[in-house]
Amino acid sequence: MTAEPLLQIRELKTYFHTERGRVSPVDGVSLEVGKGEIVGIVGESGCGKSATAQSVLRLFDEKRLASYEGEIRYGERDLLRLTPKQMRSVRGNEISMIFQDPLSSLNPVHTIGDQIVETLRLHQSIGRREAAKKAVELLRLTGIPAPERRAREYPHQLSGGMRQRVMIAIALACQPQLLIADEPTTALDVTIQAQILELIQDLNRRLGMSVMLITHDLGVVAETCSRVVVMYLGQVVESGSVRDLFRKPLHPYTIGLMRSVPRLDGDRQRELPAVPGSVPPLHQIPSGCRFAPRCPYADDKCRSSQPELAALPGTDTQVRCWHAGRIAGWEAAQ
């Protein structure tokens, strides 16, 4: 990675304590986000993308529900070693997050402006009048028309796209260095999706803000990100530059995801092949390689022994697959 690291996750494990015992939706994840970089995290639902993102901010109930292992280094600090009070000063101030559904994140009984003001006053020593003025400026920054009027309105009076822009305005209120965007365009139509993604890219360029973009849409990654991390069943199975990964995916799961991206061949849309099977529940994780039950390359070694995430010689790509060399075309070198 060329950019200086801002966030470094090392062997992160997040445990949930359930009635069926302890499960791990994040199981040994390592990744980096550089300063001023947009990194995409992709995979099917249930692969641990959102759990990884929420673990960075320690959003799970640590008294009853969750526990962590590993390191989450943000600058010089390990976020897993901070006290709850210290973490509260990081959330929304240095690292912000926007979620899939803005309507469930916004308070329906408070105006848009008041909710931005609350965020500003929570982390900054400013008066209500100054905070209200800054709230309008933030709405204007995110492209909301008539921001003075919108600041006096309630969430239900805004469209889905405008509500997502409000969430971005709240996330940007304290000028964070890192924005975590968890499926920020899922509930929006295609035109609004493009506008929100363009806004995130514009803010990244203008403010130098790093972005961790969680998505299941490889088209979004291709248009928006410089690097991509592919997750499957709580683990990173492949990571590298967007250019390298789209040109030559090396993990069978990544290949399956690529093949399922819609394309137009001439005037007719081709039939999309699906990745066979589905993501198993966390209490039914297979032995060996976790993707083996769905993989066309799987053999006895895959089903009995789990591969490590390792750099492929001669590339900047890391891949977790016993057959990565054969897929890359240098089987004889293995």
Q: CATH 3.40.50.300 region(s) of the chain?
A: 5-94+176-333
The pLDDT assigned to 86 comes to 94
Q: What is the pLDDT averaged over residues 327-331?
A: 64
Q: Which of 321, 327, 317, 324 is nearest to 241 (CA)?
A: 317
Q: Mark out the alpha helices in the chain (DSSP H runs).
A: 49-56, 84-90, 102-105, 112-123, 128-141, 147-150, 160-172, 190-207, 218-224, 242-247, 252-259, 300-304, 324-328
Close Cβ partners of 302 (under 8 Å, ≥ 6 residues apart): 288, 289, 292, 295, 322, 323
Q: Which of 295, 174, 145, 318 is nearest to 241 (CA)?
A: 318
pLDDT band at 160 (very low <50, low <70, confident <90, very high): confident
Tens of pLDDT, residue by residue over 284-299, are 999 999 999 999 999 9
Tens of pLDDT, residue by residue over 234-245, are 999 999 999 999
How long a stretch of residues is the chain?
334
The pLDDT assigned to 332 comes to 34
Instruction: Note the CATH architecture for domain 5-94+176-333.
Output: 3-Layer(aba) Sandwich (3.40)
pLDDT band at 263 (very low <50, low <70, confident <90, very high): low
Q: Whole-model pTM above 0.85? A: yes
The pLDDT assigned to 272 comes to 67
Distance CA 45, CA 135 (A): 34
Q: What is the pLDDT averaged over residues 109-127?
A: 91
Instruction: Look up residue 137 and give its DSSP letter.
Output: H
Close Cβ partners of 161 (under 8 Å, ≥ 6 residues apart): 188, 192, 195, 196
- Most confident range (mean pLDDT) of 46-60, 115-129, 264-278 is 46-60
